[in-house]
C-alpha cells in the first residue's frame, strides 16, 4: 500500500514537472514569435521613415534646381489632383531640419529596439527585446521636427503645406507609439513569467 502511494506521488511530481516544462516552452515560443513580429514592425516603420526621407530629398532636388524664386515651387504630393506650391521663404533650411529630425527618429527606433545591421539585413531577431526608450535621440527628433511647423503656423501657411512640414513630427509620434505598444506586450510576458515563478514558489 505504501509503495502504491509513493508511486502515485512520483507520477504526480512527473506530471507537474512536465506541465511546468511545457508552460516554459510555450512561453518561450510566444516570446520568440513576438520578437519576430516586432522585428517586422520595426523594419516596416524604418521603411516608412525612409520613404518620408525620399519625399524631402525630392523636394530638396526641386529647391536646388529651381530657376527663379519668383516661380512657384510645388510640394511633392503626387496624390493631390491640384498642385500646391510652397510659400515658405526658406525651403532649403526646412528640408535640412526635416531630414535631421527623421534621421533622429530612425536612430531612436534602432537604439531603443536594439537593432543590429545583421538583424536588419537578414530579418532574424536576436531576441534582445525592446530596451529603455532612448530619450536623447527622441528629444533631439522632437525639438528639430517642431521648428519648421511652428514657423509655418506663425506665418500662417496653408494647411496642406503645414501637413507637409509636420511629416517628421508625425513620423516620430508613429515610432514612439509603436515602441510603447511593443514595450507593453513585452512587459506582459515578463509579468506572466514572474507570476508563474511566484506560483511555483508558493
In this structure, what C-alpha cell is assigned to residue 59? Answer: 523636394
At residue 88, φ and ψ (nearest 5 deg) are: -75, 135
Three-point CA angle 153, 171, 134, nearest 5°: 115
Model pLDDT for residues 169-182, shown as the tens digit of each residue: 999 999 999 999 98
Residue 70 per-residue DSSP state: T
Domain boundary assignment for the chain: 31-67+86-201
Model pLDDT for residues 126-149, shown as the tens digit of each residue: 667 777 778 888 899 989 999 888
pLDDT confidence of residue 54: 93
Those residues whose C-beta lies under 8 Å from the C-beta of residue 51, and which sit 6 or more positions away, are none
Give the mean pLDDT per block of 10 residues along the chain (202 residues): 45 51 75 83 92 92 75 74 78 91 92 80 72 84 90 85 91 92 83 65 50
Q: Given the C-alpha cell 519668383, which residue does it identify?
A: 70
Amino acid at each position: 500500500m505504501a509503495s502504491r502511494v509513493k508511486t502515485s506521488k512520483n507520477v504526480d511530481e512527473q506530471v507537474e514537472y512536465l506541465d511546468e516544462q511545457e508552460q516554459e516552452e510555450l512561453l518561450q515560443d510566444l516570446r520568440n514569435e513576438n520578437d519576430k513580429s516586432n522585428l517586422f514592425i520595426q523594419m516596416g516603420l524604418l521603411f516608412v521613415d525612409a520613404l518620408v526621407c525620399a519625399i524631402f530629398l525630392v523636394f530638396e532636388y526641386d529647391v536646388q534646381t529651381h530657376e527663379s524664386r519668383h516661380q512657384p515651387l510645388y510640394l511633392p504630393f503626387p496624390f493631390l489632383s491640384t498642385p500646391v506650391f510652397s510659400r515658405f521663404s526658406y525651403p532649403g533650411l526646412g528640408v535640412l531640419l526635416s531630414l535631421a529630425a527623421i534621421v533622429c527618429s530612425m536612430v531612436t527606433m534602432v537604439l531603443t529596439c536594439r537593432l543590429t545591421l545583421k538583424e536588419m539585413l537578414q530579418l532574424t531577431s536576436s531576441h534582445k527585446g525592446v530596451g529603455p526608450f532612448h530619450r536623447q535621440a527622441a528629444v533631439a527628433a522632437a525639438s528639430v521636427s517642431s521648428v519648421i511647423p511652428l514657423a509655418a503656423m506663425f506665418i500662417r501657411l496653408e494647411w496642406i503645406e503645414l501637413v507637409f512640414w509636420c511629416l517628421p513630427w508625425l513620423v516620430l509620434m508613429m515610432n514612439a507609439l509603436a515602441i510603447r505598444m511593443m514595450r507593453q506586450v513585452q512587459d506582459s510576458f515578463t509579468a506572466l513569467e514572474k507570476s508563474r515563478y511566484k506560483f511555483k514558489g508558493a
